[in-house]
């Protein structure tokens, strides 16, 4: 456990696992792949995105620099899926993918988690 509760080890682990998954999925999602963009995006949403945000209600309060690391991983995947140049703006990438930024997604997941906790009966 991180003594200052910065959750750096956990975020680094999320980034590492997602990067490993990028290497494993590369034949499917690379720019020259014949798989459709829709299917590539579905694979990302079902396999990689849950891996990136796993346990996020707990570590939502981590430093912005850690959230940026997660955003970089998401940007790599999406630019590869949509065959975009590396210099493409993040806002444009997310508009094409109809996805939120990682920070917004983490915030939404945290709000949903809190709402469920309030409603649940102990």
Name residue, tokens 């999925």: 25
Give the integer Cα–Cα distance in Å for 81 and 15. 18
The verdict on residue 53 lying in a domain is yes
Q: What is the pLDDT of residues 66-117, one digit of tens each?
A: 999 999 999 999 999 999 999 999 999 999 999 999 999 999 988 888 888 8
CA 110 to chain centre: 15
Q: What is the pLDDT of residues 24-46, one digit of tens each?
A: 999 999 989 999 999 999 999 99
The verdict on residue 1 lying in a domain is no
Count of structural domains, the chain = 1
Pair 14, 70: CB distance under 8 Å: yes
Give the per-residue pLDDT at 57. 81
Give the domain extent around 19. Answer: 8-119
The verdict on residue 35 lying in a domain is yes
pLDDT-derived band of residue 122, with 50, 70 and 90 as boundaries?
A: low
């Amino acid at each position: 456990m991180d003594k200052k509760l910065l959750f750096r080890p956990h975020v680094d682990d999320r980034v590492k696992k997602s990067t490993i998954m990028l290497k494993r999925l590369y034949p499917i999602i690379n720019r020259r792949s014949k798989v459709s963009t829709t299917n590539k995006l579905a694979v990302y949403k079902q396999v990689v995105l849950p891996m990136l945000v796993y346990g996020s209600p707990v570590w939502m309060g981590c430093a912005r620099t850690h959230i940026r690391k997660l955003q970089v991983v998401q940007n790599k995947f999406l630019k590869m899926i949509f065959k975009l140049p590396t210099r493409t703006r993040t806002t444009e990438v997310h508009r094409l993918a109809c996805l939120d930024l990682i920070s917004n997604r983490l915030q939404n997941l945290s709000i949903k988690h809190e709402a469920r906790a309030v409603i649940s009966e102990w």
